[in-house]
Structure 1
Amino acid sequence: MRSILGVCALTVALTAGLVAVPNEARAQTPVLCSETSLVNAITAANAAGGDTLALVPFCTYQLTSAHGSGPTGPVGLPPITTSITLLGMGATITRDPSAPAFRVLQVQGAANVPGTKGQLSLVGVTVRGGSAVPPFPGGGISNLGGTVSLLTSAVTGNTAVAGGGIYTDNGAVSLVGSSVTGNTAVASGGGIYVNSGGATLLATNVSGNTPDNCAPSGSVIGCT
């Protein structure tokens, strides 16, 4: 409930102009409550050089197949290669349990994938049920040289060899008022795995992940 209220408060603040944002950031593209609509919206946003996508509040976007691929296996949604914000207002993006294995989201930046500049912001979104194809890491979100920001969002119920919830390599991840819980890794980093780059937490709960919450030990300050 606190997460939903936090998203509502943020939305009200943005609408009222209490939070300073560029004019172009105020424009939003609505996304109907369907897998196809979300896939098409992200594809269009990448082609346009970025966008803010307004998801249907409390909608469950259920992914039945992979719609992208990258250096580390199939991805449920097209890899993020530009600056994209997903405004969720309680929306969930999940892999259908009967679907083949794939992670939910992947962000690609120039450090790992030349010619890309992926920046993903999730606001009030839950990422659930991703399953990265072995031996690749990052079941929920894989950040390959890009930037990932989570605000009042959740990553839960995802699996991978490492970084069951979130994996980052040569990139930056920040979580504010969010949670990473109930994710599983075969090796380590059930919640978050930092291969290189960094991850920061503010008022964020990382707990109940298997076999540990963050790896390597000490890589994420405030994560035990």
Structure 2
Amino acid sequence: MPTVRTLRSLLGICALTLGLTVAMAAAPTKAHAQVPVLCSETSLVNAINSANAAGGDTLALFPFCTYQLTSAHGTSPHGAVGLPPITTPITLLGLGVTITRASGAPAFRILQVEGAANVPGTKGQLSAVGLTIRGGSAVSPYPGGGLSNLGGTVSMLSSSVTGNTAVAGGGIYNDNGSVTLTASSVTGNQATSSGGGIYVNSGGVTLLGTVVRDNTPDNCAPSGSVVGCT
């Protein structure tokens, strides 16, 4: 089991990646010291809960860790969520980090961001760097297998959303919020209806140097909702 001392020494590897977050539009407005997160499901769940309670934080994920989620740790009217819904400005700072639903785990999406436009009293903002979201499966009939953004703000840099499933928005579902993907990819996701990669119910999704391809039955829906994606 990695120790906090070991983690702190490895965090130096992330310094360059952290610098890139300055350019991310959804970065928390308050400065926070990095909070190291050991390579375990419990550590990540507890860190997000603590960050929400503190009004936001920057979580330095353990480099090259695969966080395997064995059960849902969040609930909402939109179905089960693997991690606690993000309701404050939170940065997930990774380097080769994957968050995935464990084999044999019940159905749930990986991440959900909640903002005041959809969930009164919340101010969810997610900034993710060097992160892969994999294997989410939203409970039918709810959308957003990898990530569901409900009125919040999401910025992803050098990240990947892959191998997720849902009725719509197999990779990403956006409703009344803002999503910006920079130097990232949305690939190999599946929807049983439409928007295998990204489904925009309302709000906006911006792609900057980002690849959205090889999703089923289509990459983005409705047609024309995401500039540069079909």
TM-score by length of 2: 0.89
Alignment partner of 2:52 out of 34, 46, 58: 46
Note if contact 1:145-1:169 (Cα within 8 Å) is conserved in structure 2: yes
> In the TM superposition, what is the alpha-carbon distance from 1:26 to its structure 2 partner?
5.6
Change in Cα spacing, 1:217 to 1:185, as seen in structure 2 (3 Å) is: same
In structure 2, stretches of 5+ residues that fail to align are 1-13
Match of 1:134 in 2: 140
Match of 2:68 in 1: 62
Amino acid at match of 1:183: N
> Which contiguous aligned blocks of 4+ residues in structure 1 show a shift greater than 2 angstroms?
7-11, 21-26
**Residues 28-71 of structure 1: per-residue CA shift (max 9 Å, x gap):** 00000000000000000000000000001110000000000112
The more displaced of 211-220 and 24-33 is 24-33
Match of 1:211 in 2: 217
Alignment partner of 1:10 out of 14, 17, 35: 17
Q: What SS is found at the alignment partner of 2:178?
A: strand
Alignment partner of 1:30 out of 36, 42, 46: 36
Note if contact 2:28-2:56 (Cα within 8 Å) is conserved in structure 1: no
Match of 1:77 in 2: 83
Alignment partner of 1:91 out of 66, 86, 97: 97
Q: What SS is found at the alignment partner of 1:161?
A: strand
Amino acid at match of 1:149: S
Task: Give the Cα separation in 2 of the matches to 1:153 and 1:179.
Answer: 7
Q: What SS is found at the alignment partner of 2:48?
A: helix
The alignment covers a number of residue pairs equal to 215
> In the TM superposition, what is the alpha-carbon distance from 1:27 to its structure 2 partner?
1.4
Match of 2:177 in 1: 171
Q: What SS is found at the alignment partner of 2:126?
A: strand
Change in Cα spacing, 1:28 to 1:44, as seen in structure 2 (3 Å) is: same
> In the TM superposition, what is the alpha-carbon distance from 1:9 to its structure 2 partner?
4.0
Alignment partner of 1:122 out of 116, 125, 128: 128
TM-score by length of 1: 0.91
> In the TM superposition, what is the alpha-carbon distance from 1:22 to its structure 2 partner?
8.6
Q: Does 1:148 find its partner at 2:154?
A: yes
Amino acid at match of 1:154: S
Task: Give the Cα separation in 2 of the matches to 1:135 and 1:191.
Answer: 17
In structure 1, stretches of 5+ residues that fail to align are 1-6
Q: Does 1:220 find its partner at 2:226?
A: yes
Note if contact 2:194-2:221 (Cα within 8 Å) is conserved in structure 1: yes
Task: Give the Cα separation in 1 of the matches to 2:29 and 2:172.
Answer: 31
Percent of aligned positions that are identical: 76
Alignment partner of 1:105 out of 111, 114, 117: 111
Task: Give the Cα separation in 2 of the matches to 1:133 and 1:169.
Answer: 17
CA RMSD of aligned residues (A): 2.1
Amino acid at match of 2:133: V
Match of 1:199 in 2: 205
